[in-house]
Amino acid sequence: MKKKDIDTAIILIYSPDQPGLVAAVTDFINENGGNIINLEQHVDRQENIFFMRIEWDLTTFRIPKTKIQDYFETMYAQKYNMTFKLYFNDYTPRMAVFVSKMSHCLFDILARYTAGEWNVEIPVIVSNHEDLRWVADKFGIEYHVLRIEKEKDNKDEIEARQMALLEEKKIDFVVLARYMQILTDNFIEAYPNKIINIHHSFLPAFVGAKPYHAAFERGVKIIGATSHYVTAELDAGPIIEQDITRISHRDTISDLVRKGQDLEKIVLSHAIESHIDRRVLVYKNKTILFA
């Protein structure tokens, strides 16, 4: 787990753009004894929407942590029509990882986790196969197999058990690390913008189950990987992170898979880190990714 140097608060904000927004938020912090340590802002001129991420040191802040949400809502958010989320860095989010049979993304996640790169806990790994239990055992993490059987038509039952497990483990967000199942709308609605998926193509190109085969057939010169929040529309949620690598006519489908898997694990881990660090602000079906 990443060590936290100081106790800080973070607010992510969007609102209609108007004069005085930056001054209002910074005055709120300064007038109450806070010390701003990071501030980023952006205005979407087409939408006329203002976005901000601000983080401040709570060491000398005079408003108790339990009162900050209500105070900011009453004094500022209502006045400026702000939508905001408040976070504290002394809270360690709890992440569940869903996997099937492929291990490359899981290993990268667990390597970063055990190295202490992230302020996160991983209490459980969920799968629809036994194949990766040995990985979970190696890292000392609970592993639960909840298999959806087409012939039994038990998807609703299995998802209900999955969601009960997530509630029991107090899970804040879910990572689909090449979990080869489509989630139902009920599952997605329970974790809005809290389910992170890795798709093995540069979306919106080559959606679906076999993008490397489709890329090979199309003769493209680059392939990519995309990490996004899951929505009811398949492979169409807000994009958090993407990357590409070049390929050529010499590459086979196996080469594309091998090169793509190198991208997948890095792109997914970068997306997870951005989510953990509260640097992602979702607006409509897009994200503002603060540095």
Catalytic one of 57, 235, 243, 277: 235
The one-letter amino acid code at 112 reads R
Q: Which of 198, 202, 230 shows the shortest CA–CA distance to 218?
A: 202
How does DSSP classify residue 3? P
| Strand, helix or coil for residue 108 | helix
Token pair in block for residue 90: 């002394």
Q: What CA–CA distance (Å, rounded) separates 98 from 119?
A: 19
Cβ neighbours, 10 Å, residue 145:
13
Give the containing element (helix H, strand E) for 267: helix 253-276
Q: What CA–CA distance (Å, rounded) separates 268 from 228?
A: 9
Strand residue runs (E) in the chain: 8-16, 35-44, 49-57, 83-88, 94-99, 121-127, 142-145, 173-176, 195-199, 222-229, 239-246, 280-283, 286-289
Q: What CA–CA distance (Å, rounded) separates 85 from 10?
A: 8
Residue 188: which residues within 8 A CB-CB, separation 6 or more? Answer: 195, 230, 231, 232
Q: What CA–CA distance (Å, rounded) separates 49 from 283?
A: 10
235 is catalytic: yes
The answer to whether 54 and 82 are in contact (CB under 8 A) is no
Catalytic residue list = 235
